[in-house]
Structure 1
């Protein structure tokens, strides 16, 4: 969407502050749904508004370039005390609105604020000292905003199986891996639109695809599949001796750990995986459910 410099003449339904990875799923959905939007990037590419949030600056000009919006979506992390309040106050000071037209602020957060090794939902105790949690609390208190705390993001070229080489470099690494929680970018976009249409002031939500994945189970599946593809001559799969040995090693580690830990079958029971996330409440509240099921 092409944005003019005069926000008074071009109000939008939804303003995306930070059109990054999430926006690649959100913008097509907004277009399909006929929701008028504007988006910012730090360099103003692709017809977006050039905007960079500086929590230490009180210069108003970057905010004056932003349109009025019913919903302001903040996709970048806000940290600690002061940042959320500053952003809200800078936007409101450059967009004088009647009380009934005050924008709804929605911040994308992370599920890492819930740390207890047991079942967690949006109402569970969280780490109040976490810098992101501090900023989320401040946003809700200052603007009556809402927070969507997202599980691991995937979709498109971002695939969980590609994370394995980074997070599991040894058998000890794999031994320490419990649960994995994810949510697809398309479901994040659907959640944002649902919250735009059915806003919940001062509410923190937990968002996942409603699965609790077992890293051992995923590792076994991905390694076995990679070996089959290599044996089948799949041109998209690297079939070097080193890679073959790596996949065979992963399979062996899973089997050895199952024997050593007395695990009879995969996936392990959720009680053995540590923190487990329950995101049913959000989906039930907005009346939709994830369309992306189990990751492969």
Structure 2
């Protein structure tokens, strides 16, 4: 790898899985937080950095020429632009975790919904999307449009049990956090600056399918299903697998759910 230092901006759920993987590839890896001592107890003190996009005086804590993995929403756009101007992005490789919610599907009622690839329009009324697109177009950032993340401590069955979601015909796209972490590093190593890659396990499922499996295997009680007309999305990962050369390691959601 050309650069030897990585800074993970925002050390949340995904970043905690990225960190040990990155330590095998980079000479130095740092994680950031607004309150490093409080929020990064598992990170060695000399690998913690204070960083807050809203506090420009913390920006100087980011080492020059370090690669950046941006793990929190790139908003507000104005602060994103100001940070980019101060961060000398031309000397870095930058990966940004976005969301498949960026895609503007309009009022389509097609069912099943059409496959969405990276050429689909994005909703620039969303501040996060504007921030991501600024980083992509002006800083060469690589944007990952990430599906719903699951893994240890994030179980879709629990989402159904707690009523966070309900069974419906709506399609959902998911990605195991270990795949996402590996894709983040593959992106920094092999991704093309200024490109966008969809990130999912490649197998969209409906909430009805996940609910039916959960009732059979996890003793989930019957849940009243509302009349949901939303179609959801079906996210294509052809570009990820063909251009980036990544093979999904956790393609079978239901097999993975048995182990959570």
Question: Which category of TM-score, normalised to the shorter sequence, fits these structures?
Answer: 0.7 to 0.9
**How many Å separate the matches in 1 of 2:32 and 2:133?**
24
User: Which structure 2 residues correspond to residues 259-278 of structure 1 after superposition, within 5 A?
Assistant: 273-278=231-236
Q: What is the TM-score with the length of structure 1 in the denominator? A: 0.72
Q: Which of 193, 200, 224 pairs up with 1:201?
A: 193
Question: Does the aligned pair in 1 maintain the 2:53–2:79 contact within 8 Å?
Answer: no
Question: Does the aligned pair in 1 maintain the 2:94–2:188 contact within 8 Å?
Answer: no
**How many Å separate the matches in 1 of 2:19 and 2:215?**
35
Counterpart of 1:181 in structure 2 is 173
**How many Å separate the matches in 2 of 1:69 and 1:146?**
16
Per the TM alignment, residue 12 of structure 1 is displaced from its structure 2 partner at its CA by 4.4
1:203–1:34 CA distance, 2 compared to 1 (3 A): closer
Q: Does 1:218 find its partner at 2:218?
A: no
Counterpart of 2:50 in structure 1 is 50
Counterpart of 2:30 in structure 1 is 38
Per the TM alignment, residue 80 of structure 1 is displaced from its structure 2 partner at its CA by 5.1
Per the TM alignment, residue 64 of structure 1 is displaced from its structure 2 partner at its CA by 1.8
Deviations 1:153-184 (A, max 9, x none): 1111111111112334xxxx534x41111111
1:290–1:69 CA distance, 2 compared to 1 (3 A): farther
Q: CA RMSD in A?
A: 2.5
Q: Does 1:104 find its partner at 2:62?
A: no
User: Which structure 2 residues correspond to residues 151-162 of structure 1 after superposition, within 5 A?
Assistant: 151-162=147-158
Moved over 4 A (4+): none
Which protein is richer in helix relative to its size?
Answer: 1
User: What is the total number of aligned residue pairs between the two structures?
Assistant: 235
Per the TM alignment, residue 105 of structure 1 is displaced from its structure 2 partner at its CA by 2.0
Q: What is the TM-score with the length of structure 2 in the denominator? A: 0.81
Question: Does the aligned pair in 2 maintain the 1:14–1:69 contact within 8 Å?
Answer: no
Greater Rg over alpha carbons, structure: 1
Q: Which of 31, 52, 68 pairs up with 1:72?
A: 68
Structure 2: gaps of 5 or more residues: 38-42, 106-112, 255-260
